Structure 1
């Protein structure tokens, strides 16, 4: 493991100070990537609930993230001799946070309604700009706050058609939402402007999650091993999809977007996840969306599009605002 910073690997961030004309293009590409993540993650709710009948939470996390980590590691084998201590530390930190998020989400969704889970996770959208304002001291466009509330309201209309009934899994999901918002903001703060390889950081992060799932699964070794060896082919195919598309692709794109875009914008685009979850429920489970739910989905899309536009205008050099690099000076 090398700690030298003399050699910059090819997959690190662009030059520290790219021309201003490149920034809007990079941000747009990042937003499209995050939209792809929201679509993929929208499909995973059905997949995770279906695989839950065959395998426990820790064994599921181990298989999913080991596959994702293997995919990224295989694509970047020639880059690992340049790994730095900072990348290892960041990968471990965000791996621990990610394991906590996904363990709580996967566990919580089994003890509450899927509608409750979708709504509570959406609260992280509202928490991201607040965390960015309070902890990173970044000026947020005032319009962003009502737009995040509009997104949460839309998610409520979309998911809570049966009412919000408090269940034991709700507090678990809420804890996951809090950690999820903090992770988005913290990653942006710790990586912007630094020469870090996203491939290596992401791979280390996923290996940490896989190791966490394996360690917890080993507490019940007989049961976990039996579940893995008895998985039907269809379950293996679903787990492979979750590992490659829902993990390797999704987390690599999300981490890139946190540096190329802004935490608030990433959160707003990811807020469309419940909308796509509802779309997949209609397609795969023959569920029906009523007028209120369609209205809620429309509000989610509207808030994401408008929020993306407001945040981009605010951070791209408007005379009355500051760019992402311009932090407030402490009083």
Structure 2
């Protein structure tokens, strides 16, 4: 991998993460709270996939995209299970019961999980220095989120379990999507995953469609997670993972909780302080140092 591809991959990764950083605040805005519920988590999960699936079908038709190779259909199903069904469903249901700050505890483990999946799928052997940086960055994010959560400890409630499952789903979807993006156009990977999921998502979204009048803010939030979080963000993210390598580029996700905090200030009324800035600078440092650590690739082909 040349330096140009790595830098381009990292910048595309940052773009994707910036788009994804609004997902949790926007989801919280759409689902409301336990005391003032709005859209159901199931409708957001299935509905956003329907909107993105329709857009995907139009893009594939307009670009005259070829059918994926026969051996790509299995990984595409895994991508769909991970990022079209698993992550949206579990996070949407959980976000009604936890604040965005609390949810960032779980998001903080996603870069490490993605790196592990990527290393396994691509038979890569990151150096000890790389893993130290990844673990240090993860620890900083978790420590910050716990500090801001206002709790003395991390109680493993039902919402926490759902968020942990969501992170595992995302890591699997990211890993397989990145591999497919090495031989398919990145935007086609997520488009095909959404399109093959459409026959399932469409009736489920119709079943969960809200019948009550909802505020405009909830529909705007739903539109964002449908078009950006579920669709456009993956164009940059999968391309970045393919160019820069899943193991390396996955670490820019460490910035996501801090970006979510920054976006949550105007959306959810949270405050940005010196502690947040300090932790953010420290996490950026781990990403900067980690990208310079060697990542070795085995001579054998990728894992099946």
Fold conserved between structures, TM > 0.5: yes
Deviation at 1:287, TM superposition (A): 2.1
Does the 8 Å contact 1:154/1:295 carry over to 2? no
Counterpart position of 1:10: none
Deviation at 1:190, TM superposition (A): 5.0
Match of 1:308 among 291, 299, 303: 291
Alignment of 1:73-92 (within 5 A): 73-80=57-64, 82-86=66-70, 87-92=72-77
- Where does the alignment leave 5 or more consecutive residues of structure 2 unmatched? 33-37
Distance 1:175 1:183, change over 3 A: same
Instruction: Summarize deviations over 1:272-298 as a string: whole Å, max 9, x none.
Output: 110101111224334224443333222
Match of 1:66 among 20, 30, 50: 50
Distance 1:153 1:183, change over 3 A: same
Match of 2:9 among 27, 30, 40: 30
Distance 1:90 1:136, change over 3 A: closer
Deviation at 1:71, TM superposition (A): 3.1
CA RMSD of aligned residues (A): 2.8
Distance 1:326 1:275, change over 3 A: farther
Deviation at 1:269, TM superposition (A): 0.9
| Distance in 1 (alpha carbons) for counterparts of 2:96 and 2:129 | 36
Match of 2:223 among 232, 237, 240: 240
Does the 8 Å contact 1:139/1:327 carry over to 2? no
| Distance in 2 (alpha carbons) for counterparts of 1:143 and 1:39 | 26
Instruction: Summarize deviations over 1:133-161 as a string: whole Å, max 9, x none.
Output: 45543121221111112211221233212
Distance 1:35 1:144, change over 3 A: same
Does the 8 Å contact 1:132/1:264 carry over to 2? yes
Counterpart position of 1:201: 189
| Distance in 2 (alpha carbons) for counterparts of 1:183 and 1:122 | 17
Counterpart position of 1:184: 174
Counterpart position of 2:35: none
Name the larger-Rg structure. 1
Instruction: Summarize deviations over 1:239-266 as a string: whole Å, max 9, x none.
Output: 2222222222111222222221211122
Counterpart position of 1:94: 79
| Distance in 2 (alpha carbons) for counterparts of 1:299 and 1:255 | 26
| Distance in 1 (alpha carbons) for counterparts of 2:196 and 2:108 | 25
- Where does the alignment leave 5 or more consecutive residues of structure 1 unmatched? 1-19, 316-321
Distance 1:244 1:154, change over 3 A: same
Match of 1:277 among 256, 260, 264: 260
| Distance in 1 (alpha carbons) for counterparts of 2:236 and 2:58 | 17
Tell me whether 116-125 or 209-218 shows the greater mean CA deviation: 209-218
For normalisation by structure 2, the TM-score amounts to: 0.83
Instruction: Summarize deviations over 1:196-249 as a string: whole Å, max 9, x none.
Output: 24333211212345544444446xx3x63525xx44444333322222222221
